Structure 1
């Protein structure tokens, strides 16, 4: 059985075409969702020159391209697959890209507390990461910053994601700002949940 890294390395050259054919709406949806919350004044994520974004599990760069189109220019990315990192580099949307990053483990120390917005789309899916990976997303986010992520409905139904994020809330580390359940993710079904948290202190 091949690893997730090997699978995505092999898939990288054809990934964009394949997911487009399957109507992968997650990247566009999560960014649109953030823009709605920004426009309502619920989160402060204005694309100033010093505003820093990290796209964790950036894949081929689909989220980065949507963010770039919204005026964000300092976008970094990480991914487990070096092949996907190569595809993301071609988009021109990212300043720095770091491969071989497994979100089942903490992200590199030099990224800790560096980002105003941490976004993670398509990673919290079955057999990829555990809910505890939310902690690693929060760790690279500045206090007062935002973490936005998607969870597949099957993931949410299988793992106790709700229980874990509520544990982090009780510990005073994050706060849920908003969530949208059963929204477009892949294909015709509304099979994704989207979450937006503020980070208190890690």
Structure 2
């Protein structure tokens, strides 16, 4: 058992209460940001689209899923490293399918690849959790033409070369940067976060 997994398994029953006390507003900010872009037709995201599927990667206790559910999205799946957190996410009632023991430092299970119109990852790209290359794992599970929205803690962004890594994916055509916001609400007065919205390009006609 990894130290992070054990920590979050133990924390799970009190997690929502504890982060509320610290004014963890990342999930709410991320979903509001997403809906602003959707309303401006910058991303193909809408709860009214038939069969629109969302994957909440490292979903924790389900805070993002609950925010998305309130916006009318109905097909939300979630993964997390912690079984304890998955239990809490199940209690939220926001998810159709939940999968535990999924480590974002490794490629996500093959049966998830290319399955989701929207991939969400909030609060995970933080110090010592995942490497920037884990962004490529988010790309894998997103449908061509689909959207990724994620956050990086400011300290993570300053310490790791996240910008360099995502730019390398853009240069190879694996990803397109749609929008971003820097130094926005994340964890009350303790920390700010950066928010990133990417498009996974649709396969080009005639491509091998």
Structure 2 CA distance for aligned equivalents of residues 169 and 137 of structure 1: 14
**1:60: Cα distance to partner?**
0.2
Q: Give CA-to-partner distance per residue, 1:88-144, whole Å, 9 cap, x none.
A: 000110000000000000000000000000000000000000000000001000000
Structure 2 partner of 1:199: 200
CA contact (8 A) 1:181 1:193 kept: yes
Secondary structure at 1:119's aligned position in 2? strand
Distance in structure 2 (CA, Å) of the matches to 1:111 and 1:91: 22
Q: CA deviation at 1:49?
A: 3.4
State whether structure 2 residue 53 is matched by structure 1 residue 46: no
The residue number in structure 2 matching 1:124 is 125
CA distance in 1: counterparts of 2:156 and 2:15, whole angstroms: 22
2: CA distance, partners of 1:152 / 1:43: 23
Task: Give the structure 2 partner of residue 19 of structure 1.
Answer: 19
- The aligned counterpart of 2:206 is none
In structure 2, the partner of 1:79 is 80
SS in 1 for 2:187: coil
Q: Secondary structure at the match of 1:116?
A: strand
Q: Residues 49 and 73 of structure 1 are in contact (CA less than 8 Å); yes or no, is this contact kept in structure 2?
A: no
- Displaced runs of 4+ in structure 1, greater than 2 A? none
RMSD value over aligned CA atoms?
Answer: 1.3
TM-score by length of 1: 0.97
The total of aligned residue pairs comes to 202
Q: Distance in 2 between matches of 1:49 and 1:31?
A: 20
Match of 1:94 in 2: 95
Q: Quick one: distance in 2 between partners of 1:46 and 1:20? A: 28
Question: What is the distance in 1 between the residues matched to 2:198 and 2:53?
Answer: 16
Which residues of structure 2 form unaligned runs of 5+? Answer: 204-208
- In 2, are the aligned partners of 1:118 and 1:146 still within 8 Å (CA)? yes
Q: Kindly indicate whether the alpha-carbon contact (under 8 Å) linking 1:22 and 1:186 is maintained by their aligned counterparts in 2.
A: yes
Q: Counterparts of 1:3 and 1:164 in 2: how far apart (Å)?
A: 26
Deviation at 1:200, TM superposition (A): 1.7
TM-score scaled to structure 2, two decimals? 0.95
Tell me if structure 1 keeps the 8 A contact 2:153–2:191.
no
